[in-house]
Amino acid sequence: MAEYETDLRGPAETLPAFLPPLLEGQYGPALTEGILAGYRCQRAVTLRANTLKTDRAAVAAALTDAGLAPEQQPWYPDAFLLPQAREEAVRALPMYEAGEVYLQSLSSMLPPLVLNPQPGMDILDMAAAPGGKTTQLAALAGNRCHITACELNPRRGERLKYNVAKQGASCVYVMVTDARQLSDGFSFDNVLLDAPCSGSGTLSLTEPGPGRFTQALVEKSVRSQKALLAKGLQLLKPGGELVYSTCSILAAENEDVVAWALESAGVELVPVEGDWLEALPLLPTRLAGTVCVCPDSRFEGFFVARLRKTGPVRLPGVPGGGKGRASARRRRR
């Protein structure tokens, strides 16, 4: 086992001592060093052009005129990276107030792209607040799908409603409820589960944070993830697809949870594919066809998998997990 410096305190906090050995056991010493380097990076500000209200060319021009030096992302042209800007500069722009852009991490833009919403689809977003992925889904489908967006926390639910309205996502219906408690009478063509997680991919040693990352949080998150995933698969129509994502890079919350779901004969893994994957800093995964992004100066650590329901889903019982979004940080989601 390599010796890692666990007192990596910057302006933000100390990395939990249990994490580097855990990462090394999963990824090996060299990749672990790369992950730790990513935690030390100051991540650039990123945003998404809201095509429900404007277009990417207009956003690029406005950002350039404001002196923010935007870098349009070739793998997703609606995404922009601002290497020299702070979020306050974006918030001061008229187009931000108008809902024409949404501050969002590049990694969190991946699940809607994988789900690939189409006009006419009935979609469930199980843990939707603050609404970045919800409104991105609406934009990708041109507001011509129907999205049920759930958020159990009332305060966060109000924030979700605000963002949905500001972004002009008229196809979204917000339910302030625990998605695990939805009636079995519901059924959906597709489901997005951006699950509550430990936030191991978003840890930063350069930004202030609450410092709640613990082993207990990881274990609590896994319980919630399995319960939500089981419910999402139950509400999914046969032949429909569920995109499962977390802002974690730990197999316990990612591949292990997906492998648990695959124990049901009614679930199959659909590989995440596309030329755009070549633009991402990827980590190896234990399940071929799943994607795990390494944290660096552009991306947060993130995991995405795609599941298809082929028949009745029968999964082992799940002990009740803690309610709410367990993530150690609330990044731009």
Reported as a single tens digit per residue, the pLDDT across 224-277 is 999 999 999 999 999 999 999 999 999 999 999 999 999 999 999 999 999 999
Mean pLDDT for all residues in the chain: 91
Percentage above 90 pLDDT, the chain: 85
Residues 88, 293 contacting (CB under 8 angstroms): no
pLDDT recorded at residue 1: 43
Q: Please tell me whether the overall predicted TM-score, pTM, comes out greater than 0.85 for this model.
A: yes
**How far apart are the C-alpha atoms of 282 and 75, rounded to whole Å?**
14
| 174 pLDDT more than 80 | yes
- Please tell me the number of Cα atoms within 13 Å of 161 on its side-chain side: 11
pLDDT band at 15 (very low <50, low <70, confident <90, very high): confident
Give the pLDDT mean for 151-177.
98
Residue of 254, 133, 151, 280 lying closest to 198 (CA atoms): 254
Residue 84 — left, alpha, or beta (φ > 0 → left; ψ -120 to 50 → alpha)?
alpha
Candidate list 150, 197, 247, 292, residue with the active-site label: 247
- Is 247 one of the annotated active-site residues of the chain? yes
The sign of the dihedral angle between the CA atoms of 214, 220, 222, 225 is negative
Residue 316 has pLDDT above 80, yes or no: no
Q: What is the pLDDT of residue 10?
A: 38
Q: Kindly report, residue by residue over 23-71, the tens digit of the pLDDT.
A: 999 999 999 999 999 999 999 999 999 999 999 999 999 999 999 999 9
What integer pLDDT is reported at residue 220 of this predicted model?
95
pLDDT at position 11 is: 37
pLDDT at 205: 87
- In this model, does residue 331 exceed pLDDT 50? no
Residue 332 has a pLDDT of 54
Tell me what pLDDT residue 191 has. Answer: 98
Residue 9 has pLDDT above 50, yes or no: no
β-pair partners for 307: 242, 269
Share of the chain above pLDDT 70, in %: 90
Decide which of 315 and 190 is more confident: 190
Helices 29-40 and 19-27 pack at an angle, to 10 degrees, of: 130
77-92 tens-digit pLDDT: 999 999 989 999 999 9
* 96-140 pLDDT tens trace: 999 999 999 999 999 999 999 999 999 999 999 999 999 999 999
Q: Can you tell me the distance from the alpha carbon of 116 to that of 14, in angstroms, rounded to the nearest whole number?
A: 38
pLDDT of residue 216: 94
Strands (E), 151-213: 172-175, 188-194
Summarize the confidence of residues 195-223 as an average pLDDT.
Answer: 87
